[in-house]
Amino acid sequence: MLGPVILAASRSDRMRRFISAAPGTKQVVDRFIAGETVDQVVPVIEDATGKGLEVTLDVVGEDITTPEQAAAARDAYLELIGRLEGLGLGARAEMSVKLSMFGQSLDGGHELALANVRPVVEAAAAIGTTVTLDAEDHTTLDSMFAIHEELRKDFPQTGCVIQAYLFRTEEDARRLAAAGSRVRIVKGAYKEPASVAYQDKAEIDKAYVRVLRTLMEGEGYPMIGSHDPRLIAIAQELGRKAGRKLDEYEFQMLYGIRSDEHVRLAAEGHRMRVYTAYGTDWYGYFMRRLAEKPANLLFFGRSVLTKG
Ligand SMILES: Cc1cc2nc3c(=O)[nH]c(=O)nc-3n(C[C@H](O)[C@H](O)[C@H](O)COP(=O)(O)OP(=O)(O)OC[C@H]3O[C@@H](n4cnc5c(N)ncnc54)[C@H](O)[C@@H]3O)c2cc1C
């Protein structure tokens, strides 16, 4: 019940100001956000790759309101890619981007987001890595898939994300499960109405398994974004049944969540990629993490009260 309330609060400017300024917030934010600057995130990347993990990097900051901010988002990714070049990690460190941060919701947003994301995809390809387009709320997805298709003409390895809670996703998965595609499947983290999305957790899990089967039986490269032990076991089973080798799909989990499991799956021979978010504009990302697990809210509340 609390999840939708937290997601609604994530859209409130008043709540943003309150939470951002509250004493004790930083301690909880630090669990999910790997740092504020490129300098701070580089050692985190080195630590993960040193343990046999891979990473996908997200510069947080989806709530932009001007084209200048969208250009700054592009530049932040270009700066990051410049630093990664020196580390020589290639495909072990890829990028995750939210098109809203590249201007998608502004006037002329579709073209603006495409124009801003293209140089990032080009720069990533030049150092041997890839970009995955995150899935945001359902109103943005037609534009996201069109941009994905456009980018794939020149950079076929560009990935995208589909969300099991949306009714549309089974059809999207059938279209995307083609040779050369890279698709991350997640449950979905936004507040969506019953007209477009399953609301019941069990229904979402069942839809996840149906979509996962389509991806595993298809010809693309499935990326399983989940911390759910049941779904991870099902993914391993479906991968086996589809005759996939362990490097023909990968698991992905978020930085700060079930970290022991990251290492355990990698030690079993799986590809495990840690979605590593960093930057100063962490509010939207942080609120989604609180909404996913209400126990996080209790921890957050306690931290604010003790420091306050
Ligand atoms: C790599 C990755 C990329 C993602 N990209 C997107 C995206 O582009 N678009 C999108 O809409 N969503 C995205 N998500 C979020 C996703 O939609 C879910 O909201 C999130 O993964 C929680 O679902 P779950 O599958 O882990 O299962 P759940 O049933 O929610 O969680 C299973 C278990 O994992 C642990 N857990 C899960 N979340 C948390 C948390 N926040 N704090 C502490 N423990 C937790 C708990 O132990 C929980 O019992 C992404 C998730 C991952 C892992």
Predicted confidence (pLDDT) at residue 305 exceeds the cutoff of 80: no
Q: What is the pLDDT of residue 307?
A: 61
How many domains are there within the chain? 1
When the pLDDT of each residue in the chain is averaged and rounded to a whole number, the result is 94
Residue 6 counted as domain residue: no
How many Å apart are CA 77 and CA 99, to the nearest integer? 12
How many Å apart are CA 156 and CA 112, to the nearest integer? 21
Q: Are strands 250-254 and 221-225 parallel, antiparallel or unpaired?
A: parallel
How confident is the model over 211-231, as pLDDT tens digits? 999 999 999 999 999 999 999
Please state, in angstroms and as integers, the Cα–Cα distance from residue 193 to each residue in 84, 169, 200, 206, following that order: 39, 15, 12, 18
How many Å apart are CA 58 and CA 94, to the nearest integer? 9
State the average pLDDT over residues 225-241: 98
42 closest CA partner among 24, 32, 26, 57: 57
Residue 16 counted as domain residue: no
95, 57 Cβ separation under 8 angstroms: yes
CATH no. for residue 60?
3.20.20.220
When pLDDT is cut at 50, 70 and 90, the band that residue 4 belongs to is: confident
Residue 229 counted as domain residue: yes
How confident is the model over 102-148, as pLDDT tens digits? 999 999 999 999 999 999 999 999 999 999 999 999 999 999 999 99
Judged by average pLDDT, the poorest of 20-24, 92-96, 98-102 is: 20-24
CA of 69 to the centre of ligand 1 (A): 28
How many Å apart are CA 38 and CA 79, to the nearest integer? 8
Answer yes or no: is the C-beta of 187 below 6 A from any ligand 1 atom.
yes
Looking at the chain, the whole-number percentage of residues with pLDDT higher than 70 is 99
How confident is the model over 168-180, as pLDDT tens digits? 999 999 999 999 9
When pLDDT is cut at 50, 70 and 90, the band that residue 12 belongs to is: confident
Measured by CA distance, the residue closest to atom 2 of ligand 1 is 225
Residue 10 counted as domain residue: no
Answer yes or no: is the C-beta of 291 below 6 A from any ligand 1 atom.
no
- Prediction pTM value: 0.96
Query: What count of other Cβ atoms lies within 10 Å of the Cβ of residue 132?
Result: 25
Predicted confidence (pLDDT) at residue 308 exceeds the cutoff of 60: no
Name the 3-class secondary structure at 97. Answer: strand
Residue 12 counted as domain residue: no
CA atoms within 13 A on the CB side of 140: 25
Check residue 106 and report its DSSP letter.
S
Answer yes or no: is the C-beta of 161 below 6 A from any ligand 1 atom.
yes
Position 192: which residue type? E
Q: DSSP for 243-279?
A: T--GGGSEEEEETTSSHHHHHHHHHTT-EEEEEEEES
Q: At what angle do helices 109-126 and 141-154 cross, to 10 degrees?
A: 40
Q: In the chain, which ranges are continuous DSSP H helix?
A: 2-9, 13-21, 25-32, 38-50, 67-87, 109-126, 141-154, 169-176, 201-217, 229-241, 259-267, 283-292, 294-307
Answer yes or no: is the C-beta of 293 below 6 A from any ligand 1 atom.
yes
State the average pLDDT over residues 243-272: 97
Atom of ligand 1 nearest to the CA of 96: 8
Residue 5 counted as domain residue: no
137 in active site:
no
Position 196: which residue type? V
Judged by average pLDDT, the poorest of 10-19, 33-42, 62-71, 107-116 is: 10-19
Q: What is the pLDDT of residue 142?
A: 98
Look up the domain containing 250 and give its range.
34-281
When pLDDT is cut at 50, 70 and 90, the band that residue 19 belongs to is: confident
Q: What is the pLDDT of residue 10?
A: 81
Query: What count of other Cβ atoms lies within 10 Å of the Cβ of residue 8?
Result: 13
Residue 9 counted as domain residue: no
How many Å apart are CA 284 and CA 7, to the nearest integer? 9
184 in active site:
yes
Residue 297 counted as domain residue: no
Q: What is the pLDDT of residue 13?
A: 83
120, 81 Cβ separation under 8 angstroms: yes
Position 143: which residue type? S
Atom of ligand 1 nearest to the CA of 134: 8
Answer yes or no: is the C-beta of 289 below 6 A from any ligand 1 atom.
yes
CA atoms within 13 A on the CB side of 256: 18
Q: What is the pLDDT of residue 296?
A: 84
